[in-house]
A and B are shown apart, each in its own frame.
Chain A
Amino acid sequence: MKHFILFLGFIFLFLFVSHVNKNQSLLTGDQKPVIKVFAYSSFTSKWGPGPQLKTLFEQKCNCIIEFVEGSDSGILLQRLKVEGQKLGADLVVGFDQFDLQKATVEMSWRALDFSKIDADSQIKAAMKNEYFVPYDWGVLSFVARKSSGISMTLSLDDLMQTQFASKIALQDPRTSSVGLQFLMWVLKVKGEEEGFEYIKKMMKQVHSYSPSWSTAYGLFKSEQVDIVLSYVTSPLFHQIEEKNSDFVALEMIEPQPLQVEFAGIPSFCGNCEKAEEFINLMMSPEGQKILMEKNYMLPVLKNVRTGTPFDSVKVPFRLLEIEFPSLTQVESILVKWSEIRREASL
């Protein structure tokens, strides 16, 4: 009996491995092409915009969308470099403005035409590149609970008050793009020298630097901290999904930074036209609405917000200009930040 079971087990395993290894792209006349989209996990998860966009697109395109997940844009880029060509990546979704330089240096991309996109005026500066199209954006701010009694308008210097000691959750700029946004924001607003002095003081003031946005937000939700760096649209999630209006995005006195998310098509794409069509869907009013409602980010196209709960989101009047810092610039700033962090913990 043992022999029989082992033999059958071996046969099944052998067939499984052979099937896996076999080249499955039998593109016969009636076989649908598979468009491989690299994206971060919250885009492709059930809650994200990915599944709905996939369904919509597959109805029209006579093709199949297959998502390949990375946990965030940093890991995504690494995966793309290691296995993008092997897997046949056709589209990459989820870069922010700090990733673009690195993406351009490490790989080549297909040029895209943005001329027909009727973008919000605040986001037009993000179009100043020929390879990556912005599909949504967000304004960063601090999110707090109304019941905590914190003032609704703050400045960066107010965060140094004793009421905020060990009550602020920030993200590590080395592992989180939101954390990097905060660092660049401080340096932009205060200048480099004063900015790094501020960061030194913040090292003692902050509760922790979490490795990702979700970890920091988790600390905030479990009431370990009073405020967290997040998006102005974050309170809307709680209002719509949890019916909880206690959360509010604070208005900062300084101009607030924008985070823009981009999509691009690698030059080694196999289904480049279909990938462009998918981007066109993302940039259509229908696609932008899905992205807005699922990602809880602001749409790039004008008038998509009108008549939706997102219309009530107060986009700060003063926003920082979108910038695309160079790789060396970002690296030198992070090296300096790491030194400050090291000295603070010694």
Chain B
Amino acid sequence: MLVAFFESIKYSGHLVPISFLRIFVGYYYLQNFISKFGGDFLVRPRVAEMISQNLTSSQAPEWLKWVLNTYMVAHWQGFAFTLLALELAVAVSYIIGYVVRPIALIAVMTTLLMIYLSPAATQDFLKVLLATHFAFAWVGAGRCLGIDYYFFKRVRGIWW
């Protein structure tokens, strides 16, 4: 696996710049995760506050607003835990380059959700991030400098 990791530069060298971007985004997510986990994201209803403050003025579809207001506010702890776990999954996946394609699709969905839940100031950045995740999913960014190359060699298929 380790050999395949380095071998990938030779055979998927065109993806090296994307891989650096991928690792950088992964590191960004890891930093976010650490600050949220070390803080009170799981202990205090921050995500419920986010929903109640920003959702009404967002462009989210009505059904999503209803679901978030009815269920996610009441069960904010489970929702916060899931969001944080997905953030960690994205971080680890992007850094080591493992199951990058499906994780990138998950990241697209969570970033979209964050666009609806975040204040206007961060919308532009989140939209760029959304496009980045799309790009990672499209090119299969884990195939260079990532563990995905090991499986891509053996298994092929759309997920690697």
Contact = CB atoms under 8 A, between A and B. Distances in A.
A24 B85 contact: no
B89 A19 contact: no
Given A18-B37, A19-B42, A26-B43, A8 B159 contact: no
B92 A11 contact: yes
B4 interface: no
A1 interface: yes
Interface string A44-63: 00000000000000000000
Q: Specify which of A8, A14, A16 lies most central, judged by the most chain B CB atoms within 10 Å of its CB.
A: A8
A7 B98 contact: yes
Interface string A1-38: 10110011001101110110010101000000000000
Contact of A15 (B85, B151, B159): B85
Q: Interface range on chain B: under 10, 10 to 19, 20 to 34, or 35 or more?
A: 10 to 19
Interface in B20-61: 37, 40, 42-43
Interface in B92-126: 92-93, 98-99, 102-103
Given A18-B37, A26-B40, A26-B43, A7 B151 contact: no
A7 B93 contact: yes
Contacts of A3: 98-99, 151, 159
Contact of A12 (B85, B98, B102, B151): B85
B89 A7 contact: yes
Contacts of A8: 89
Contact of B89 (A11, A22, A24, A26): A11
B144 interface: no
A4 B158 CA distance: 13
A14 B81 CA distance: 12
Given A4-B102, A11-B85, A24 B37 contact: no
Contacts of A19: 37, 42, 81
B88 A15 contact: yes
A178 B151 CA distance: 67
Nearest to A15: B85
A58 B92 CA distance: 42
Contacts, number: 35
Interface of B is mostly: helix
A142 to B, nearest CB: 50
B137 interface: no
A9 to B, nearest CB: 10
B141 interface: no
A4 B103 contact: yes
Nearest to A12: B85
B68 interface: no
B130 interface: no
A4 B99 contact: yes
B71 to A, nearest CB: 19
B49 to A, nearest CB: 14
Nearest to B106: A8
Q: Specify which of B85, B88, B151 lies most central, judged by the most chain A CB atoms within 10 Å of its CB.
A: B85
A11 B87 CA distance: 10
Contacts of A22: 37
A3 B160 CA distance: 10
Contacts of A11: 85, 88-89, 92
Contacts of A16: 81
A11 B99 CA distance: 13
B88 to A, nearest CB: 5
A4 B40 contact: no
A194 to B, nearest CB: 63
A12 B88 CA distance: 9
B84 interface: yes
A340 to B, nearest CB: 55
A24 B43 contact: yes
B110 to A, nearest CB: 13
A1 B159 contact: yes
Q: Specify which of A11, A14, A19 lies most central, judged by the most chain B CB atoms within 10 Å of its CB.
A: A11
A1 to B, nearest CB: 7
Contacts of B89: 7-8, 11
A15 B43 contact: no
The 4 closest A-B pairs by CB, nearest first: A11-B89, A4-B102, A15-B85, A4-B99
27 contacts: A1-B159, A3-B98, A3-B159, A4-B99, A4-B102, A4-B159, A7-B89, A7-B98, A7-B103, A11-B85, A11-B88, A11-B89, A11-B92, A12-B85, A14-B88, A15-B37, A15-B81, A15-B84, A15-B85, A15-B88, A18-B37, A19-B37, A19-B42, A19-B81, A22-B37, A26-B40, A26-B43
Given A11-B88, A15-B81, 9 more contacts: A4-B102, A7-B93, A11-B85, A12-B85, A15-B85, A15-B88, A16-B81, A18-B37, A24-B43
